[in-house]
Structure 1
Amino acid sequence: MSERKGPRYALLGLSAAILVGVLGYYFANPGESVASQALDQAKTEHKLESLAELDGKAPSHRALNVQTWKTAEGSKVLFVEARQLPMFDLRLTFAAGSSQDDNTPGLALLTNAMLNEGVAGKDVGAIAQGFEGLGADFSNGAYRDMAVASLRSLSDVDKRTPALNLFAEVVGKPTFPADSLARIKNQLLASFEYQKQNPGKLASNELFKRLYGNHPYAHSTDGNAESITSITIDQLKAFHNKAYTAGNAVIAIVGDLSREEAEAIAAQVSAALPKGPAVDKTAQPTVPEAGQTHIEFPSKQTHLLLSQLGIDRDDPDYAALSLGNSILGGGGFGTRLMTEVREKRGLTYGVYSSFSPMQARGPFMINLQTRAELSEGTLKLVQDILSDYLKNGPTQKELDDAKRELAGSFPLSTASNAAIVGQLGAMGFYDLPLDYLETFMKQSQNLTKEQVKDAMNKHLSADKMVVVTAGPTVPQKPLPPPTDKPSEQPLGVPEH
């Protein structure tokens, strides 16, 4: 099944930008680390309030004092001081995603995956042990727009200093050992074989090809068997020197640090990176032709993907589209799509819609899977629901419910240092204003039905969808009529 894009009211483009990578390595044992022990101790010092005490109160929101500056080498820095826990989170975000692969699909992902495989005098095992011994966590990942590398460490200088030294080496001076490259290539090649048996993945890959044509977003972030096999160590080093430069980096820091300490950390990390400017931003794609493509696949269900170009991350209609999508199919029960397709007819386990704004126009997508013999009718039903929603817009009750749920879930966007550092990284990467979180909430709460409807119609058209289906060709049956108690319940576990 196609991946869900996150919680119903997640900040699309901030959380969605940090999508699940094929290779992300986390070298720490949280249950035993010194950092986790400190976190557990801190938690015991703060008792949870009873939910009854919160009844009727407006949800609290953690006010952020975001400070920003640039390092001598040109890295943009965003910092929030948070003294509640004796820890800090550091995230580097580079414009080094698969959109920078050029003619070598998978190069960005493979470069990122190799960062912590070796530095001078240390192999992958020694690096992992180095972080673990300090109670620190290292993580990394590569996506379409960006690549990230993150560190979580205790803020005490005796732990912080060696953790930062190791992190700076890993990100700034990786050695790309040949044995690690061979191992990771084999892992990717094995995953490609698995993908051949995954109709959802096949449909997703085909959809991006149809949607983006020759644009850099068209190919999968993990490349393909032919491209991965041919990538050399010299290519990895060249990509690192081009895309992991200080001028191409956003440094986000949150935690138990002073401004002076944060400046020293940013300066150390920035100085460790290759010198160079930011890479060029990804160009806008051309609008694809609407139409349907079918992938024949032997299964009991058919995967349905409907998509068209959406928006880039700085589009002024972002708040209206985010709220409008949450009503249409942003996740969970109660959306238009889930109510009509699952709850009233039992046609699917789940159906979701999403905007994924990026540097260039990201996709708007509806995805689901249903019984093969009902696939054609289900596809038309989904198209009709979208068409009706664009024609008539949301009801006032739907809008009010969506605003209330957004207000209730919004504090989660700054509920932890890890959440904040992710927000800061995306804000810096997409050049969003420092008060973005506050202005987004205010804009969303002030939207009217007409504004949501107008924004959805401005960017979406029911007759311009690119559709990809994957499943068997079988005789079709008519859809069951809508009812409060469908005679056929959704399958309990989606295929793949």
Structure 2
Amino acid sequence: MNARFSYAWGALLSLTLLGGCQSTSSAIDSAAAHPKLESLQALSKKPPVTRTLDIQSWKTAEGARVMFVEANELPMYDLRLTFAAGSSQDGNTPGIATMTNGMLNEGIAGMDTTAIAIGFENLGANFSNGAYRDMAVASLRTLSDPAKSGPALDLFTRVVGQPTFPAAPLERIRNQLLTAIEYKKQDPGAQAGDALMKQLYGNHPYAHPSTGTVESLKSITPAHLRAFHQRAYAAGNVVIALTGNLTRPQAEAIAAKVSKSLPKGPALPSVAKPLPPKAGITHIEFPSQQTHLILAEQGIDRRDPDYAALYLGNQILGGGGFGTRLMTEVREKRGLTYGVYSGFTPMQVAGPFTISLQTRAEMSQNTLGLVQDIIRQYLKEGPTQKELDDAKREVSGSFPLSTASNSAIVAQLGMIGFYDLPLNFLDTFMKQTQTVTADQVREAMAKHLDPEAFVIVTAGPTVAQQPLPAPVERGNTPPPGVPEH
């Protein structure tokens, strides 16, 4: 990310100063005539430019929470419904949340899946949906012209609020999910991921795969889907996010129409907090040249007050690509992997913190030991001031992208509403990341992570192990000579 950012800015700066094909002399004259031109070093010292969102929120008569931001730059609007209808609500039927969401646009009264797709296309509208562990979403993008938006919203509310769950598409989607489960048998990374969640969460709803199991998928009927839809896609269980070329009265009318189209019912109970897992290593034997390594702990929920400090701390450890502690030590200095990444996934309750990589099978155990040593040192010492300053600059440079488009804004609104965050969450997060100290980052990381408490899953062959190569410091590698012939 840093490399692409630097390259893009370097190219832009060259074009700005050279005017495409100006001579260097004329470029200097041009710069002298335009004192507003500034160096990147000067720009990096300025406070980050952020877009403050005027978020308005209310509830519909049926109990749906609405989040709205007026944005009149484009003649369209985005609508996103976020239901507490992810796989954590599957109960005793793993996969039912995923299958219900996937069936929404497969049939409504008088229209099959092809007719629904053509209906949206003819209106210049776009429908999308998806299901995850915490939530299920359904989204509409449409032109704000009433001649287009009215019929598009009518079709959207029928698709989300009144799906018929026809039998033939159900069999097709069931077979797709069963095929995906079968394919996992050939994917050691997928097997390791599923095993990790089971080890990390035990009997908690986060433990089972969102796609379900072979046994549960085969048992699901249209009646099961209708029952799940009736309770999980209820008006009291949804956040309605809206942004675009709309006034407040227009947004209220749209939200009211959506809310009335949904089944009546309250919000579903939140999932319980998970029990702490038992640390240890689980190995999955798999015939391959590489071994997958995944280390994890239960991390934080989405409302944790340490979120900003942890976000920065993880960017330095392994979340920021090249230049992170893990990437530098494991890839750049020793060439043990193409990539190693870490990340917190905050959820309704403590979501996972994971570190993942692939490495040569014969070096997997020592690579795992190296990663553990890096974690221990980082949690003990924390980041350097330079690492923290660099991470702050990266966050301030990339953060404006989180509200740079209507689709980005509506996703943020859905997240804020679903996790019941303050309306000024984005502004507060940005300020916190720019004021946090190195000691605060160290304390937050050490508070939420224990280097001896990781649940570890490896997937690969059992082979004799080799010692790791000696680290090569960056910048000390001699240039390659003339190749011999």
TM-score by length of 2: 0.89
Shift of 1:61: 1.6
1:443 to 428, 432, 450: 432
Supply the distance in 2 between the matched residues of 1:357 and 1:220 (Cα, whole angstroms).
Answer: 18
Supply the distance in 2 between the matched residues of 1:320 and 1:140 (Cα, whole angstroms).
Answer: 32
Regions of 4+ moved over 2 Å: 51-60, 484-487
Q: State how many pairs are aligned.
A: 439
1:62 to 51, 63, 78: 51
Q: Which amino acid aligns with 1:371?
A: R
Q: Matched residues, percent identical?
A: 67
Q: Which amino acid aligns with 1:331?
A: G
**Paired position in structure 1 for 2:234:** 245
**CA-based RMSD:** 1.4
Q: Which amino acid aligns with 1:124?
A: T
**Paired position in structure 2 for 1:102:** 91
Q: Which amino acid aligns with 2:316?
A: I
Pairs within 5 Å for 1:9-20 = none
1:172 to 161, 171, 176: 161
Q: Which amino acid aligns with 2:187?
A: N
**Paired position in structure 1 for 2:140:** 151
Pairs within 5 Å for 1:253-292 = 253-292=242-281
1:216 to 2:192 alignment: no
Supply the distance in 2 between the matched residues of 1:157 and 1:359 (Cα, whole angstroms).
Answer: 37
Supply the distance in 1 between the matched residues of 2:189 and 2:410 (Cα, whole angstroms).
Answer: 32
1:140 to 2:120 alignment: no
**Paired position in structure 2 for 1:493:** none
**Paired position in structure 1 for 2:465:** 476
Are the structure 2 counterparts of residues 369 and 52 from structure 1 closer, same or farther at C-alpha, using a change threshold of 3 Å? farther
| 5+ long unaligned stretches in structure 2 | 3-35, 478-485
Q: Which amino acid aligns with 2:81?
A: L
Pairs within 5 Å for 1:400-411 = 400-411=389-400
Supply the distance in 1 between the matched residues of 2:343 and 2:323 (Cα, whole angstroms).
Answer: 15
Shift of 1:96: 0.2
Supply the distance in 1 between the matched residues of 2:329 and 2:67 (Cα, whole angstroms).
Answer: 44
Larger Rg: 2
Supply the distance in 2 between the matched residues of 1:180 and 1:406 (Cα, whole angstroms).
Answer: 44
Q: Which amino acid aligns with 1:409?
A: S
Q: Which amino acid aligns with 1:64?
A: L
SS of 2:339's equivalent in the other structure is: strand
1:115 to 91, 104, 110: 104
Q: Which amino acid aligns with 2:284?
A: I
Q: Which amino acid aligns with 2:171?
A: A
**Paired position in structure 2 for 1:339:** 328
Deviation track 1:287-337 (CA, whole Å, cap 9, x = no partner) reads: 011000000000000000000110111111111111101100003100000
SS of 1:478's equivalent in the other structure is: coil
Shift of 1:52: 6.3
Pairs within 5 Å for 1:181-220 = 181-220=170-209
Shift of 1:193: 1.2
Supply the distance in 2 between the matched residues of 1:334 and 1:299 (Cα, whole angstroms).
Answer: 29
2:313 to 313, 320, 324: 324
Shift of 1:190: 1.0
SS of 2:440's equivalent in the other structure is: helix
Supply the distance in 2 between the matched residues of 1:242 and 1:202 (Cα, whole angstroms).
Answer: 32
Shift of 1:470: 0.1
Shift of 1:226: 1.3
Supply the distance in 1 between the matched residues of 2:244 and 2:428 (Cα, whole angstroms).
Answer: 23
SS of 1:217's equivalent in the other structure is: coil
Pairs within 5 Å for 1:65-84 = 65-84=54-73
| 5+ long unaligned stretches in structure 1 | 1-6, 9-50, 488-496
Supply the distance in 1 between the matched residues of 2:320 and 2:140 (Cα, whole angstroms).
Answer: 31
**Paired position in structure 1 for 2:282:** 293
Supply the distance in 1 between the matched residues of 2:450 and 2:246 (Cα, whole angstroms).
Answer: 49
**Paired position in structure 2 for 1:358:** 347
Supply the distance in 2 between the matched residues of 1:87 and 1:53 (Cα, whole angstroms).
Answer: 36
**Paired position in structure 2 for 1:43:** none
Supply the distance in 1 between the matched residues of 2:39 and 2:96 (Cα, whole angstroms).
Answer: 50
Deviation track 1:152-192 (CA, whole Å, cap 9, x = no partner) reads: 00000000000000000000000000000000011111111
TM-score by length of 1: 0.87
Supply the distance in 2 between the matched residues of 1:286 and 1:324 (Cα, whole angstroms).
Answer: 25
SS of 1:314's equivalent in the other structure is: coil
Q: Which amino acid aligns with 1:365?
A: T
1:387 to 2:376 alignment: yes
Supply the distance in 1 between the matched residues of 2:218 and 2:323 (Cα, whole angstroms).
Answer: 46
Deviation track 1:200-241 (CA, whole Å, cap 9, x = no partner) reads: 000000000000000000001101111111111111000000
SS of 1:88's equivalent in the other structure is: strand
Shift of 1:60: 2.4
Q: Which amino acid aligns with 1:118?
A: G
